[in-house]
Amino acid sequence: SQQGEEDPQALSIQEGENATMNCSYKTSINNLQWYRQNSGRGLVHLILIRSNEREKHSGRLRVTLDTSKKSSSLLITASRAADTASYFCATDALASGSRLTFGEGTQLTVNP
Amino acid sequence: DAGVIQSPRHEVTEMGQEVTLRCKPISGHNSLFWYRQTMMRGLELLIYFNNNVPIDDSGMPEDRFSAKMPNASFSTLKIQPSEPRDSAVYFCASTIGGGELFFGEGSRLTVL
């Protein structure tokens, strides 16, 4: 089964609004990453947060990590139509030997 | 850098035929991953290599699948014989020292 599970599965918002996606996982991790995938393309790394970090920012992205709840959230502020894509969380579990396990993704649609 | 290069981008073949997918990782990266993406199962790790050595092939679905990495700049994923249920997008990704994965654009395989 997938280590990470995102919710919601799909999210539709208007340009300018904020988008929040959540990820839950099952085992202890070294780090958690978020990736973006445009339709028909490969995945692109967005941000990595380590298990000893609680929050990280990168441009319009804000990621939080709660290891006690085994959950993470990705916030995209002031969304744009170009943010339309699927977003995946991926976990690097302890003793996994650097293998990343991906969740099923959230399909974000930003309407102009 | 050109990024991770995969070929072919699209392949349509008939059941029973051999399929070979190719990947050139980013120069200097020491780990290479093969993932498969389908609507039903999401992103699944098939196998990964570290310094050209297969580390974990537990995700390879069955003996019809094989992967090689003869040198640091080339890897192949072979399916023989192919079946319709193998239809998917196959991604190659590389990294150095763990952390962020760099994905290719994928090879879309259709087995009729």
Q: pLDDT tens track of chain A, all 112 residues?
A: 345 678 889 999 999 999 999 999 998 888 999 999 999 999 999 999 999 999 999 999 999 999 999 999 999 999 999 999 999 999 987 666 668 889 999 999 999 9
**Which residues have a Cβ under 8 Å from the Cβ of B83 and sit 6 or more positions away?**
B15, B64, B111
* The pLDDT value given to residue B99: 80
Q: Please count the residue pairs, one from chain A and one from chain B, whose beta carbons lie less than 8 angstroms apart.
A: 51
Q: What mean pLDDT do residues B45-54 have?
A: 94
A16 vs chain B: nearest CA distance in angstroms? Answer: 29
* The pLDDT value given to residue A6: 82
Determine if the peptide bond prior to B84 is cis (ω within 30°): no
Query: Does A105 sit within 8 Å of B100, measured CB to CB?
Result: no
Please report, for residues A16, A99, B38, the alpha-carbon distance to residue A72 in angstroms, rounded to integers and kept in the order given.
23, 19, 24
A23 vs A30: CA distance, rounded Å: 15
* The pLDDT value given to residue A4: 67
Does the pLDDT at position B73 exceed 50?
A: yes
- Burial track A26-47 (b if 16+ CB lie within 10 A, e otherwise): eeebbbbbbbbbeeeebbebbb
* The pLDDT value given to residue A2: 42
For residues A91 and A100, the answer to whether their CB atoms sit within 8 Å is yes
* The pLDDT value given to residue A92: 85
Residues of B in Cβ contact (< 8 Å) with A45:
100-102
For residues A84 and A111, the answer to whether their CB atoms sit within 8 Å is no
Closest CA to B82 of B12, B32, B8: B12
Residues of A in Cβ contact (< 8 Å) with B31:
98
Query: Does B48 sit within 8 Å of A98, measured CB to CB?
Result: yes
Weakest mean pLDDT among A94-103, B81-90, B99-108 = A94-103
Query: Does B56 sit within 8 Å of A43, measured CB to CB?
Result: no
* The pLDDT value given to residue A98: 67
Does the pLDDT at position B15 exceed 50?
A: yes
Query: Does B99 sit within 8 Å of A48, measured CB to CB?
Result: yes
| Residue found by looking up tokens 């259709």 in the block | B110
Does the pLDDT at position B23 exceed 80?
A: yes
Question: Which tokens go with B47?
Answer: 């196998």
Write down the mean pLDDT value for chain B.
Answer: 94
